[in-house]
Amino acid sequence: MNHYEEHKPGDLTRYLAENVNGRLIISLRNVSHTMRALYEGKGSQKRILMVLNETGTITQRELTHRLGIQPGSASEVIAKLERAGLVERTSSEEDRRTADILLTKEGERQALEALEQRQRRHEEMFSALTPEEKAQLLALLEKVSADWQERYGDQKDRHRGGHHGRNFECREDHEGHHCDHDCANCLHPCGRGRNRQA
């Protein structure tokens, strides 16, 4: 079934009315929305376990910086993991203002399980492509990514602090997951993001 046939009938009509550039943008947006739905959040328990499995013992300050989340949010999730017996928190010998975080044996087990789940998901996500098609797609995406970084890198930095200088409140995306993009200018064919702005 075509992706747009899963939405309301007008979605496919709008998609087909676009030129190839418009269809590329819409398709990339759809892929982005699907990845948001599939992936762990920046400060999710699974991601913290996987990061700790990679780094070994790390200070809470370093972990918070690596995750890119607020210290209060990190403390809350770490406390839940600690209560669940998945991590241990001890005073840091290098910096008394923070704590060292490390995985317990059960935390290591669940971290490895989460990594295996991610690897299986990665295989599944591209199972429709042959190895040659994967290589072609990767090469094209890397080419576009490098060009966009050169053209729009400064805009991406401003985007992190608010879309084009404006502050948009957090909304849910079209699948009910957290979304921080500019819904008013969203090209997703369902139009729900734009409708919220009306």
* pLDDT tens per residue across span 90-137: 887 777 778 899 999 999 999 999 999 999 999 999 999 999 999 999
Q: Within 56-130, where are the H helices?
A: 60-67, 71-83, 105-125
pTM, two decimals, is 0.61
Domains detected in the chain = 3-40+129-197 (no CATH), 45-115 (1.10.10.10)
Contact 193, 19 (CB under 8 A): no
Q: Give CA–CA dist 61/64, Å, rounded.
A: 5
Tokens at 188, concatenated: 């997703």
Closest by CA position to 49, among listed 98, 105, 119, 93:
105
* pLDDT tens per residue across span 147-177: 999 998 877 666 555 444 433 333 334 334 4
